[in-house]
C-alpha cells in the first residue's frame, strides 16, 4: 500500500542518517564486525550495483532490491556452498526486506510511479545482512584484504560508465577506509557526499528557474538511452540468478 511504502521510505531515510552521522553514535551500537569506513564504502559499492540494475531511475536509492542483491553477492564472491549457501544468504535478505519503490530522491517524480515496487533492504538492514555473511568468511583480523580488493572486483562485473560516474578511485581505497569522512563529505575526485548515500541534500538555487519552479528536464541523449537499455539488460540477468529461478 502507499502508506506502507511511505513508512518504509521514512525508515530508510532515518537509518541513512544514522550511517552518515559523523559521530557514529547509533551505528556503533549495532554490534557489527565492520567499522565505519568499511560500512560507508560498502554502501557506495552496493549503490553501484543499483545504478547498474536500474539506471538513472534508481538515483542514489538508499537500499537494494532482491535481484540486485543476489547478483551482487555472487559477483563479489560471498556465496560459498559450505560457509554461505546461496539459499541461506538470500533468506537473510527475505527476513529483513520491506516493500519499496526503487527510485532515488532525485529521480523524476512524475515518472516515479513507473518504477517497480519490490522487496528491498534499507542500507541499514543491508549492512546487517552483509555483516552476517562476511562473518562466515572473515574475522576482524583478515577482512581488510577483501575490502582492499572490492572496488577492483566491482570494476570487473559492472559497466564502465557506472564506475566512472561514481568517481571512486582504486588508489584511494585505503584512504576511504581509514578516513571515512571523505566519503560522507565528498572526496577530491567527486566521490562520496551525502547525496550518494540517499540523504537529502540542501536545496540549491541552481536547480530552479527564475520562476522558482524546477527547470525542464532535457530529452535523453542516445548515450543515455543506451545506458538505460544496458541497465534493463543487467536487471533481467540479475533476476535470472534468483534462487527460485535457478531451481527450476
81: phi then psi, degrees, rounded to nearest 5: -65, -15
User: What pLDDT tens digit does each residue of the chain (248 aa) get?
Assistant: 567 667 767 777 777 788 888 899 998 999 999 999 999 999 999 999 999 998 876 556 778 999 999 999 999 999 998 999 999 999 999 999 988 776 655 544 444 555 667 888 989 999 999 999 999 999 999 999 999 999 999 999 999 999 999 999 999 999 999 999 999 989 999 998 888 876 665 554 444 444 454 445 556 788 888 988 999 999 999 999 999 887 75
The DSSP call for residue 190 is S
Q: What is the pTM of this model?
A: 0.85
Other beta carbons less than 10 A from residue 54's beta carbon: 24
Amino acid at each position: 500500500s502507499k502508506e506502507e511504502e511511505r513508512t518504509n521510505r521514512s525508515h530508510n531515510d532515518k537509518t541513512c542518517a544514522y550511517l552518515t552521522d559523523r559521530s557514529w553514535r547509533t551505528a556503533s551500537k549495532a554490534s557489527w564486525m565492520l567499522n565505519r569506513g568499511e560500512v560507508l564504502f560498502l554502501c557506495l559499492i552496493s549503490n553501484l550495483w543499483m545504478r547498474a540494475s536500474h539506471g538513472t531511475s534508481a538515483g542514489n536509492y538508499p537500499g537494494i532490491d532482491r535481484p540486485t542483491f543476489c547478483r551482487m553477492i555472487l559477483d563479489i564472491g560471498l556465496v560459498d556452498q559450505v560457509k554461505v549457501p546461496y539459499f541461506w544468504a538470500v533468506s537473510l535478505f527475505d527476513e529483513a526486506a520491506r516493500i519499496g519503490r526503487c527510485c532515488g530522491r532525485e529521480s523524476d517524480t512524475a515518472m516515479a510511479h513507473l518504477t517497480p515496487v519490490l522487496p528491498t533492504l534499507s542500507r541499514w538492514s543491508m549492512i546487517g545482512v552483509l555483516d552476517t555473511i562476511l562473518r562466515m568468511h572473515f574475522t576482524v583480523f583478515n577482512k581488510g584484504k577483501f575490502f582492499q580488493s572490492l572496488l577492483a572486483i566491482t570494476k570487473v562485473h559492472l559497466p564502465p560508465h557506472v564506475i566512472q560516474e561514481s568517481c571512486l578511485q582504486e588508489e584511494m581505497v585505503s584512504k576511504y577506509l581509514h578516513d571515512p569522512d571523505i566519503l560522507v563529505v565528498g572526496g577530491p575526485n567527486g566521490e562520496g557526499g551525502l547525496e550518494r548515500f540517499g540523504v537529502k541534500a540542501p536545496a540549491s538555487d541552481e536547480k530552479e528557474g527564475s520562476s522558482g519552479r524546477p527547470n525542464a528536464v532535457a530529452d535523453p541523449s542516445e548515450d543515455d538511452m543506451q545506458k538505460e537499455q544496458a541497465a534493463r539488460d543487467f536487471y533481467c540477468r540479475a533476476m535470472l540468478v534468483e534462487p527460485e529461478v535457478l531451481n527450476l
